[in-house]
Amino acid sequence: MTEKLSPRAILDKLVSFPTVSHDTNLPLIEWVQAYLAGHGITARQHPHETDPAKAALFAHVGPDIEGAVVLSGHTDVVPVAGQPWSTDPFTVVEKDGKLFGRGTCDMKGFDALAIWALVEGHYAGLSRPLQLALSYDEEIGCTGAAPLIVSMNKYLPKGSAVIVGEPSMMGAVTGHKGGTGFKVHVRGFEVHSSLMHTGVNAIMYGAKLIDWANEMNIENRANDPTAIAATFEPPWTTVHVGTIEGGTAHNITALDCHFGLDFRFVPGESRADWVARAKAKAADIEAEMQAVVPETYIDMQEFFSVPPLTPEEDGAAESLVRRLTGDNASRVVSYGTEGGHFQEAGYSTVICGPGDIAQAHQPDEFLTVAQFDAGHDFMQKLLAACT
């Protein structure tokens, strides 16, 4: 049997793997798999569809029945390049009651606690099973969760309550907006700008779609929010353009214009409706362009999509977390998580994890020892509740 590690020793190990989203996470996944195997727990890898350097991992302990509590975390972290770190980001350094290191807060602290709880649960003779779900590619659009969930449903008895351990100061978070983002490419037609009526300026037609985004923001803001929307800040769906480039010279109609178009939509509104409205607007603009030069076009590629987390009525996951933490405040957050994917797949889902989101993604990211201890305490109560 492998020696049992403390949550802190597991955290030190997890942080030592530089699992920046664009790099491999396999050494971390293989270490977790071997550590669990050393305790007689079978964990299964779900390989990335296209990138052989990445895998997700899931495991089940306790009786072989449905109804597990699923502990869900991502293994990837955001880059450290260009950030002024005072310590080595891939070594946990404890100072002034804080654990410094990339991912300590977002969210290897929770991952370490979840792995610890799984091993404890394995030996405890649980009556309610526990599951671990570790994903990849969360930080680049939450794209790893959906395939992981499909794989879990194939191999494991279905869980009934998912706790996504994103930093929430161990409070229950029951909702977040959904998000979807497009890379838009407007292909125009170049002529000398003195004859611009015979060309198609990709920038100027692209601006029409961007101005549609402005109109939508004004319209959405003017509408009365629904009860769910009213809990968010701002309480309406937003459409945002964060990057743009295009054109080559002031006197040539632009051949190309590229920009990003992102939606953050409130729960209750349909992602599909918003996408359809944007595409219909783009099609109208494209028709205008093609009336001048037929080979011009607007191409929209979706590059991320995160379903919203909708507050549940009498949610099983929420009531479990409230029972264990004693926290009764209602909270929603503005960032997206894998929780939306779990809920969409039919799981009752809540967000609850140690640390403050304000520390995530920062240079000198940290998790306070007090929050890590609060997370440990939570896991001990969870184990007791499942025994």
Contact residues for Zn ion (CB under 5 A)? 106-107, 166
Which residue lies nearer to Zn ion by CB, 19 or 160? 19
Least Å distance, CB 306 to Zn ion, is 12
Q: State the DSSP H helix or E strand holding residue 263, giving kind and residue range, or none if neither.
A: strand 256-265
In terms of CB distance, is 106 or 120 closer to Zn ion? 106
Tell me the closest approach of the beta carbon of residue 105 to Zn ion, in angstroms. Answer: 9
Pick the closer one to Zn ion by CB: 106 or 318.
106
Query: 58 with 152: CB under 8 angstroms?
Result: yes
Q: How far is the CB of 147 from Zn ion (least distance, A)?
A: 18
Return the number of the residue (107 or 383) whose C-beta is nearest Zn ion.
107
How far apart are CB 148 and Zn ion at their closest, in Å?
15
Distance of CA 185 to the CA centre of its chain: 25
104 neighbors 79 (Cβ within 8 angstroms): no
For residue 138, the minimal CB distance to Zn ion (Å) is 6
CB of residue 144 to Zn ion, shortest distance in Å: 12
Please give the residue whose beta carbon sits closest to Zn ion in the complex.
Answer: 106
Residue (54 or 128) nearer to Zn ion, CB: 54
Pick the closest to residue 6 from 35, 44, 33, 34 (CA basis).
35
DSSP letter at 164?
E
> Rounded to 5 degrees, what angle do the CA atoms 78, 103, 25 make?
70
Q: Among positive and negative, which fits the CA dihedral 318, 323, 324, 325?
A: positive
Q: Which residues on adjacent β-strands are paired with residue 164?
A: 72, 351
Nearer to Zn ion, 169 or 300 (CB): 169
For tokens 């601006």, name the residue.
Answer: 207
Nearest to 33 by CA among 58, 60, 6, 52: 58
Sign of CA dihedral 178, 145, 357, 304: negative
How far apart are the C-alpha atoms of 304 and 181, rounded to whole Å? 5
10 Å CB burial of residue 251 (0-12, 13-18, 19+) is: exposed
CB of 139 to Zn ion, least distance (A): 7
CB of 65 to Zn ion, least distance (A): 30
- By residue count, the chain amounts to 387
Partner residues linked to 178 by β-bridges: 265
Nearest to 141 by CA among 94, 190, 179, 195: 179
**Nearest CA-CA partner of 108 in 31, 177, 171:** 31
Cβ proximity to Zn ion, 106 vs 286, nearer residue: 106
Instruction: Work out the number of other CB atoms within 10 angstroms of the CB of residue 147.
Output: 18
**For Zn ion, which is the closer residue by CB, 166 or 269?**
166
State the burial class of residue 340 (Cβ atoms within 10 Å of its Cβ: 0-12, 13-18, 19+): buried
- Per-residue tokens: 166: 């994103």
Between 255 and 367, name the residue whose CB sits nearer to Zn ion. Answer: 367
Shortest Å, Cβ 30 to Zn ion: 22
Closer to Zn ion at the Cβ: 114 or 229?
114
Compute the least distance from the CB of residue 313 to Zn ion, in Å.
26
Identify the DSSP state of 106: I
